[in-house]
A and B are shown apart, each in its own frame.
Chain A
Amino acid sequence: MTETLLLMLQGFASALYPVNILAMIAGVTIGIVIGCLPGLSAAMGVALLLPLTFSMEASTGMIMLGAIYCGAIFGGSISAILIHTPGTPASAATAIEGYQMTLKGQAGKALGTACIASFFGGLLSCISLYFFAPILGQLAMKFGSPEYFWLSIFGLTIIAGVSSKSMVKGLMSGALGLLLSTIGMDPMQGVKRFMFGQSSLYEGINVTCALIGLFSMSQALILAEAKIKQRARATKFNDKMLLSKQELKEIAPTIGRSWIIGNLIGILPGAGASIACFMGYNTARQFSKHKELFGHGSYEGVAGSEAANNAVTGGSLIPMLTLGIPGESVTAVLMGGLIIQGLTPGPNLFVGETAKMTYTFFAGFVLIQFFMLGIGLLGCRGFAQIARLSDAILIPSVTILCVVGSFAIHQNFVDVVIMLIFGVIGWLSRKFGLNNAAIVLALILGPIGEKGLRRSLLLSGGDPRILFSTPVCWVLIALCILGILSPVLMDRMTAKAEKDSE
């Protein structure tokens, strides 16, 4: 207990280093810009800027990526409120009430509410990050090879099942990713597998290249296929952004409820901020004393949606950091960032020297919320103008950043080609209903699962019963089954939340 408290304090002391503060400011600003641009997502932004963190200390790099993540989730609300186009799917529910407030000449108040609710949602989500992550990490310390095998299967089943329209297509995407993860050196036999004569494939497909291709390059191709439309001019506003004490008091319970909702959804692998925002919005309406204002510009609605989607951020980091299971695409990209820094997500992050890095990141995550509030409140007017940036400029800009980002990894042109191949795979996958997040997750979890399976079989002399030998294995098998069945539950939850918000 004392040791943990000491680590927490050390974390704050390290997070306050000037370089980390700079990373927070830069990350939040970049994140808000990416978030407020309709068509660009948080995952895409984090993937695109991943190479920038290569030369940074692990904690600084993770703080920067976390800042981009939080900034992007909040940034989506700016275009949702001012031009009725959510910058990210996480702000879809914010657009309902936020734009109505803009039409009533209360754009400043809507943006202020979004900013404050996002701040509290994000800040409160850090509580669960601090308390649940080490506990889950300790539990994961007891895992052996068979458990790691089932853990990787669980991660794949849940994300493949939940994130796709068709569960089978999601699982097919996962299996395709698993197959691609076999490229490279066989971990047990030392045999070259499917390397096509390329020595740069010795360690397998570079996950960062795959991430940049699947999330960023594919997005540039998606933008390139459709007619370039001129976006609506962002409404200029002159009303006050800060809320009165009375208004703050009124939204406080809404923020509290949305925090719990967002946090639980964040911890649950597969569910994400886009579901949380609708659930937070609906709950705000159910409990509101001014239900008649909903649909006509209710700031409680904006608070409910924004607090929930930002509360997802801290929660979603828990399964990724403790078990190595990223629950959604952004955390999959963040996990890629950890791996690049030579760290293995899982219980080891809470032991020894690595624990210092982890707690610095946690402290940084708390401080990011303050910077998000400050930069959000001060810069909303400027960010609102960026939301108008044309896709015609974004297409070549994103392409150049993808090329330079993938080249920078090993200063090798083969990586650029791999990135482009994954860009095309990602574009095709999105057009034909497959799931990019499942492909990436399989690329990350595939080697973990393979090692777990083959080491287990080696230990048991080829007897598969070892995979069913411990109670934890059975719990994980039950979770896998639940993961496969969860799409039905999630579909019902989403449909109900959307129906209720209409």
Chain B
Amino acid sequence: MKKTDIGVCAAMYAVCAFFFYMTLQLPEAAQIYPLCVIALLAALTTLHVFNMIRGAIREGVTSGLEDFKDFLPSQFFILFAMIITYLILMPWLGFYLASVLFMSACLIFLRVKIWQGVLAEIVILALVYFAFSVFLEVRLPEGTLFY
């Protein structure tokens, strides 16, 4: 049994509880199907809990952190923060400017050679421009700051 599985089960029960609460707000006739699905998820999670207990008795308990042995928290969370910032800035800066800034920040942070980074940015943004802006005629966010 992995200790991390306790978190998985807790998260599943939390999802069940949240949807159960939301389902009770619905009219009675519309409650039946969601309740059946919630019951199914709760039953399967409980079955997993039993499997975990059986596994713990038979084979012992491991931390489960072995699945994270290559995980670099600082790199991951900084990159994730960059993605969030990119999405927050996009409505203001527009898609293309925000993408140039996001890609530059990522490539500098990940220590990509400058010429490789510039080439990658040109290729990706040209691909997006021709495929989405020209071919599909998608109006990508234009930004309010420079509009």
- Could you tell me which A residues sit within 8 Å of B by CB distance? 51-52, 54-55, 166, 168-169, 171-172, 175-176, 178-179, 182, 186, 189, 191, 193-194, 221, 224-228, 390, 392-393, 395-397, 399-401, 403-404, 407-408, 411, 413, 416-417, 420, 431-434, 450, 453-454
Q: Which one, A51, A175, A400, A407, contacts B41 given CB within 8 A?
A: A175
List of B residues within 8 angstroms of A52 by Cβ: 131, 135-136
List of B residues within 8 angstroms of A400 by Cβ: 99, 102-103, 124-125, 128
Render B8-43 as a binary contact track against A, CB cut-off 8 A, 1 for contact.
100010010001001000110110011001101100
Contact indicator B70/A55 (Cβ below 8 Å): no
List of B residues within 8 angstroms of A193 by Cβ: 26, 30, 34
Contact indicator A408/B80 (Cβ below 8 Å): no
List of A residues within 8 angstroms of B92 by Cβ: none
Q: Which one, A169, A224, A403, contacts B80 given CB within 8 A?
A: A224
List of A residues within 8 angstroms of B87 by Cβ: 403, 416-417, 420
Q: Which one, B15, B29, B75, B91, contacts A413 given CB within 8 A?
A: B91
Contact indicator B110/A395 (Cβ below 8 Å): yes
Check A392/B124 contact, CB under 8 A, given A52-B136, A179-B19, A227-B70.
no
Interchain residue pairs with CB less than 8 A apart (16): A175-B40, A178-B41, A179-B41, A182-B33, A191-B27, A193-B30, A194-B19, A225-B75, A390-B116, A400-B103, A400-B125, A407-B141, A413-B91, A417-B87, A450-B33, A453-B33
Residue of B at shortest CB range from A419?
B87
B58 within 8 A of A: no
Check A401/B124 contact, CB under 8 A, given A172-B48, A175-B37.
yes
Instruction: Give chain B's interface secondary structure class.
Output: helix
Contact indicator A55/B136 (Cβ below 8 Å): yes
Check A420/B83 contact, CB under 8 A, given A400-B99, A407-B141.
yes
Contact indicator B136/A189 (Cβ below 8 Å): no
List of A residues within 8 angstroms of B83 by Cβ: 399, 420
Check A392/B138 contact, CB under 8 A, given A224-B75, A225-B76.
no
Residue of A at shortest CB range from B116?
A393
Q: Which one, B70, B90, B125, contacts A225 given CB within 8 A?
A: B70
Shortest beta-carbon contacts, A-B, top 3: A392-B110, A396-B106, A175-B41
Closest CB-CB distance, B58 to chain A, in whole Å? 15
Q: How far is the CA of A54 from the CA of B51 in the complex (A)?
A: 44
Q: How far is the CA of A189 from the CA of B51 in the complex (A)?
A: 38
Q: Which one, B34, B51, B117, B140, contacts A404 given CB within 8 A?
A: B140
- Could you tell me which B residues sit within 8 Å of A by CB distance? 4-5, 7-8, 12, 15, 19, 22, 26-27, 29-30, 33-34, 37-38, 40-41, 44-45, 47-48, 51, 67-68, 70-72, 75-76, 79-80, 83, 86-87, 90-91, 95, 99, 102-103, 106-107, 110-112, 116-117, 120, 124-125, 128, 131-132, 135-141
Check A224/B8 contact, CB under 8 A, given A403-B87, A404-B128, A407-B141.
no
Residue of B at shortest CB range from A53?
B136
Q: How far is the CA of A225 from the CA of B139 in the complex (A)?
A: 32
Q: Which one, A176, A227, A433, contacts B15 given CB within 8 A?
A: A176
Closest CB-CB distance, B97 to chain A, in whole Å? 13
Which of A178, A390, A400 counts the most chain B CB atoms within 10 A?
Answer: A400
Check A396/B132 contact, CB under 8 A, given A168-B44, A224-B80, A453-B33.
no
List of A residues within 8 angstroms of B120 by Cβ: 393, 396-397
Closest CB-CB distance, B25 to chain A, in whole Å? 9
List of B residues within 8 angstroms of A228 by Cβ: 110-111
Closest CB-CB distance, A429 to chain B, in whole Å? 9
Q: How far is the CA of A191 from the CA of B26 in the complex (A)?
A: 8
Closest CB-CB distance, B15 to chain A, in whole Å? 7
Q: How far is the CA of A397 from the CA of B67 in the complex (A)?
A: 26
Q: How far is the CA of A189 from the CA of B27 in the complex (A)?
A: 9
Closest CB-CB distance, A180 to chain B, in whole Å? 9
List of A residues within 8 angstroms of B141 by Cβ: 407, 413
List of B residues within 8 angstroms of A433 by Cβ: 5, 8, 67
Q: How far is the CA of A175 from the CA of B124 in the complex (A)?
A: 37
Which of A401, A408, A433, A454 counts the most chain B CB atoms within 10 A?
Answer: A408
Check A179/B110 contact, CB under 8 A, given A224-B75, A225-B70, A400-B103.
no
Contact indicator B111/A404 (Cβ below 8 Å): no
Closest CB-CB distance, A402 to chain B, in whole Å? 9
Closest CB-CB distance, A403 to chain B, in whole Å? 7
Contact indicator B128/A51 (Cβ below 8 Å): no
Check A393/B30 contact, CB under 8 A, given A225-B71, A225-B75.
no
Check A390/B112 contact, CB under 8 A, given A191-B27, A396-B106, A450-B33.
yes
List of A residues within 8 angstroms of B80 by Cβ: 221, 224
Q: How far is the CA of A432 from the CA of B138 in the complex (A)?
A: 37
Residue of A at shortest CB range from B111?
A392
List of A residues within 8 angstroms of B19 by Cβ: 179, 182, 194
List of B residues within 8 angstroms of A399 by Cβ: 83, 86, 102, 106
